Structure 1
Amino acid sequence: MIRIKAGVPRRPRPRPRARRPLRRALALGLPTVWGAIAITYKLSCPLAQQTGLGARIITSAVFFAVGTGLIVQVRRSLLRELRQIRQIAGAAQSALLRPLPPRLDGLNIAAAQLSAERGAVVGGDLYEVIATEHGVRVVMGDVRGHGIAAIGTVAAVLGSFREAAHDEPDLPGVLHRLDRALARHLRERARAEHPASGALDPESPVAEEFVTVLLLEIGRDGEIRALNCGHPWPYLLSGGGVRPVSRTDPLPPLGPFPLPTELPYVRCGQLLPGEALFLYTDGAEDARDGRGRFFPLAEVLAETAAQHPLPVPQSVLGSVFTALLRHTGGTPTDDVALMVLRNDRRPTVSAPIGARDGDISGSAARAHPAKTHPQPTTHL
């Protein structure tokens, strides 16, 4: 039963466009007309029956004109259909990997993705940033494979994260939800590909699918908590320097192995005002040039940070992508996703921001450097 909201007028059903039948008639009619002209000329024109050189030249010119007209008409039809398909695919892929807002809960955000498959907007990489009552939660992942074939897995993981980020009070709960969503997606995919098999066959290629996932939670005080399943750790851009936020060994990727029951998250210090996080997928580090050399991501970030002590997310993305495309000659062989989050929150005076591991806390330490007592840096 269809319900109509009170006070909302019913919209008239859109009428079919009159141009569509005309376009279809032209698409079918013009080649037919061209063919009829060629056949009529060949059968009824006396000049076409002659065998002289001049008559042959004229006949060849007529058939060349007819063939050219047919090719032009077919080309226009194909280009029109290709534009429509690209518009539909672009809208669907943009709805899957939604553009991130430039600012979210005091964070300045910039993200971009480069698909290795030509014509695809979304590939095997995924990312999302959501502001929740538990803090700003971030996911970045990389599906096995690349291009359009990985979109189904990307949709399953992103859809689960967008719900779990609000529902689950802690990061381990979010990660368990993602793991269950991926397992359910793989079972349904295996059942669709092999209807006779009721369960996921260990010998099936679907059983070898996996997803690397990095979950971050940034609290109001800037504290960073993370769960990492086989993904590269992000870099911290601070004061013109670059370093990984953690050196802890990550968990295995989602898919091949079950998650442990207890999932203690990793404390990665604090993201202080003016500092930025650089997240990426392994397609950036694994990109090679013509000589087989890997892309020096850490060096490019260090140069960018040295030139801009206060990192601007959009500028960082532009510098890295420009260097990456120059390194690969404009043709990367794997999907690449990059994200930069800068803390633009104002530090509070009454409750100074706690220190990162190895730092002293608050703005008072910056205001009175002579009173500071440096502590040894530790990486959890």
Structure 2
Amino acid sequence: MIRFTGGAPRAGRSRTSSRGPSAPWRPDHCPLLRRALACGLPPTVLGALGTGLALHVGRSLLREVRRSRTITRTAQRMRPPPRVDGLAVAAVQLSADRGARIGGDLYEVVATEYGVRAVIGDVRGHGLGAAPTVSAVLAGFREAVHEEPDLAGVLRRLERAMDRHLRERARAERLSAGTGHAFRTAEEFVTVLLLEILPGGETRALNCGHPWPHLLSGPRAEPLARTDPLPPLGPFPLPAELPVIACAPLLPGDTLVLHTDGAEDARDAAGRFFPLPEVLASAAREAPPTPQAVLRTVLTALVHHTGGPPKDDVALLILRNERPSPRAPSGPGGTARSGTTDLSPANPLQHPA
């Protein structure tokens, strides 16, 4: 708390010589103007210098305000609705930059005529510095997700959006800091996971260097797929063929947990990684594991493990199928198998490659 005390100033301390916030500003406080005064420049030149300084400061402040507004709008749009076409949704993002509302992680869930489509990604770096790349990828996803009939087309659009963003960033760096700094854009990349959930629960995915989601079905928590991912977007072009992966189905009552590597790579004081699969298995045993309950379980365990806020950006996106169970054929004993997973070898979707 700040306290103010009345009375006259202390002896021996001149208010006009103070450089504190309450002291009046004088020309000799600015090194550039002080040198100009020493050279005996005419008042018109001094006025031009002052105007130039004011314009420079004003433009810098305006750029910062615009940047903050863009980041705020992106953060607000990253809040998914609690339900998307029969899927209950919960999500959270923790930024490594203290006080920031957005970092280097991204996610989005959209209902389209092709099914529910979701994206989760992780930009190289963290905090506010990664926010422009996050905005570029999300803008490309929101445009392509309604126009492309298959996931491969969506991913191609994201690749073009990322390439365009890197070219614009390299050009801006050359203009502002010279060609020596433009090569930083060659190190930029983003991992991306695209997911498509059809009305019957069939799940398809394309993965560019991102951790696979976990499927919570009954008391189990298992990776949605185990195939090797494609390279991240940015450093290398995508291959000519983009085979979409048919994953384990998201049946009524099942839950998908999408996450960035900031969750599984978080360490405790002894350097041990966060046991995300074990925590998710514990959450799966809750009845029922609602998205909010899973989110609360993971966040509580994560903060307890790290002993405080995470050192890297963390994003969690949780989807639970709450659609009505379709009428299923009866089993050998006449018992209907509705909302359960067939573990027989005849079900290829239950055995991801």
TM-score by length of 1: 0.71
Deviates more, 1:333-342 or 1:323-332: 323-332
Supply the RMSD in Å over aligned alpha carbons.
3.6
Task: Specify which structure has the higher proportion of helix.
Answer: 1
Partner of 1:337: 315
Displacement after TM superposition at 1:270 (Å): 1.1
Aligned length: 299
Cα 1:368–1:341, aligned 2, differ >3 Å: closer, same or farther? closer
1:319 to 288, 293, 297: 297
Structure 1 segment 176-255 matched on structure 2, within 5 A:
176-195=156-175, 204-255=183-234
1:299 to 278, 287, 290: 278
8 A contact 2:251–2:340 mirrored in 1: no
Deviates more, 1:294-303 or 1:221-230: 294-303
Displacement after TM superposition at 1:331 (Å): 2.7
Alpha-carbon distance in structure 2 between the residues aligned to 1:139 and 1:250: 15
8 A contact 1:100–1:128 mirrored in 2: yes
Displacement after TM superposition at 1:310 (Å): 2.4
Opposite residue 374 of structure 1, the aligned amino acid is S
Cα 1:194–1:170, aligned 2, differ >3 Å: closer, same or farther? same
8 A contact 1:172–1:265 mirrored in 2: yes
Q: Deviations over 1:72-103 (max 9, x none)?
A: xxxxxxxxxxxxxx999886434213211001
Structure 2 residue ranges without an equivalent (≥5): 1-5, 24-63
Opposite residue 133 of structure 1, the aligned amino acid is E
Opposite residue 133 of structure 2, the aligned amino acid is T
Alpha-carbon distance in structure 2 between the residues aligned to 1:207 and 1:61: 55
Structure 1 segment 25-104 matched on structure 2, within 5 A:
38=9, 59=11, 70=22, 92-97=70-75, 98=77, 99-104=79-84
Alpha-carbon distance in structure 1 between the residues aligned to 2:164 and 2:321: 36
Partner of 1:78: none
Partner of 2:351: 378
Structure 1 residue ranges without an equivalent (≥5): 1-33, 39-57, 72-85, 354-358
Alpha-carbon distance in structure 1 between the residues aligned to 2:351 and 2:21: 73
Partner of 2:110: 130
Displacement after TM superposition at 1:253 (Å): 0.5
Identity of aligned residues (%): 56
Alpha-carbon distance in structure 2 between the residues aligned to 1:125 and 1:238: 26
Alpha-carbon distance in structure 1 between the residues aligned to 2:104 and 2:265: 15
8 A contact 1:240–1:309 mirrored in 2: no
1:364 to 321, 328, 336: 336
Alpha-carbon distance in structure 1 between the residues aligned to 2:134 and 2:339: 46
Displacement after TM superposition at 1:205 (Å): 1.3
Alpha-carbon distance in structure 2 between the residues aligned to 1:213 and 1:375: 31
Displacement after TM superposition at 1:61 (Å): 11
Q: Which has the larger radius of gyration?
A: 1
8 A contact 2:136–2:165 mirrored in 1: yes
Displacement after TM superposition at 1:145 (Å): 0.2
Q: Deviations over 1:288-345 (max 9, x none)?
A: 1111111111111111212x14211011111111111111111311000001100000
Opposite residue 319 of structure 2, the aligned amino acid is L
TM-score by length of 2: 0.76
1:150 to 99, 120, 130: 130
8 A contact 1:235–1:278 mirrored in 2: yes
8 A contact 2:257–2:319 mirrored in 1: yes
Q: Deviations over 1:263-298 (max 9, x none)?
A: 110000211101010000000011111111111111
Indicate the SS of the match to 1:263. coil
Displacement after TM superposition at 1:365 (Å): 2.6
Q: Deviations over 1:219-273 (max 9, x none)?
A: 0111000000000000001112100010000001011110112211000021110
Alpha-carbon distance in structure 2 between the residues aligned to 1:261 and 1:175: 12
